[in-house]
Amino acid sequence: MPQHSPIASATNGQSGLSSLAISIEGLDVQLLARRGVYWPEQKTLFIADTHFGKEASFRSQGIAVPRGSTDGTLATIARMISECHPSRLVLLGDMIHARSSITQGIRESLDAFFFAHPQLRFSLVLGNHDRGLPALIKGWPIEILDSGAQIGSVSVSHLPQEPSLSTKLLVCGHLHPAYRFTSKMDSVGKLPCFWLSNRQFVLPAIGEFTGTQVIHPCKSDQTWVIADDEILRV
């Protein structure tokens, strides 16, 4: 990512909470330990990289992995909806892991989720895993957004990209960012994180059955890690 100084500051809340209110480029948002971002001004909840059905894709290839990660991810999203009361949910790409992910069981779980939240407006920015998805999600109440589409003064994308001059902030996913902690002698582990760099705000992957990619922030970047139910600024 380009290395320019971001503008972000904590406005309410402190480290060590299940949510943290901060200001980025003058926008007041809440970081959620369940790996989402809530923007009260627009009553919008952002999440990234659900990868629904990834376990089904693996099992279809004969790889023995546990069932239930899609239902677990949906339960996490439902809890955030219950806590924040958004009017809109924006998925920042890679909603479905692969075409083989949409089994009957996965479809039934998603059907039940949408049925349980009739008040919500669902928007999706297509990710690299979502090829062919529009033809597969007919019947679900999801609108497709173009990459770079604006919601108020924020633009949305799956891939990190240079924000346009007409937007204050780009909110995106794709990277599954994590921050690695090290001592003088050894690595002491990594944690999923939110990463702000040059007006690009990258969210952690919310999908339960997803990996992470260690990032290397520059000094002008800002990073917040998720440790259990706590959000800590690095």
194 vs 69, residue with greater confidence: 194
Q: Mark residue 121 as left, alpha or beta (left: phi above 0; alpha: psi -120 to 50; beta: remaining).
A: beta
> Residue 188 is encoded by which pair of tokens?
């002491």
Q: Is 2 part of any domain?
A: no
Going by pLDDT thresholds of 50, 70 and 90, the confidence category of residue 104 is: confident
pLDDT tens-place string over residues 138-187: 788 999 999 999 999 999 999 999 998 899 999 999 999 999 987 655 56
**Total tally of structural domains belonging to the chain:** 1
User: Average pLDDT over the chain, rounded to whole?
Assistant: 84
pLDDT value, residue 167: 94
pLDDT digit string, tens, across residues 56-94 = 454 445 443 445 578 999 999 999 999 999 999 999 999
Radius of gyration over alpha carbons of the chain, in Å? 17
% of the chain surpassing 70 pLDDT: 79
**Which carries the bigger pLDDT value, residue 131 or residue 225?**
225
Q: Which domain holds residue 206?
A: 8-233
* Lowest mean pLDDT across 109-123, 126-140, 162-176: 126-140
Query: Is residue 1 in a domain?
Result: no
| Residue whose entry in the numeric block shows the structure tokens 């924006």 | 90
> With helix as H, strand as E and coil as C, how does 73-140 read?
HHHHHHHHHHHHCCCEEEECCCCECCHHHCCHHHHHHHHHHHHHCCCCEEEEECCCCCCCHHHHCCCC
CATH code (residue 227): 3.60.21
At residue 213 the predicted structure's pLDDT band, cuts being 50, 70 and 90, is: very high
**Which two tokens mark 204?**
């952690």
Average pLDDT over residues 24-35: 96
Q: What's the average model confidence in pLDDT over 201-210? A: 88
User: Is beta strand 187-197 parallel, antiparallel or unpaired with respect to 150-151?
Assistant: unpaired
> pTM score, two decimals?
0.87
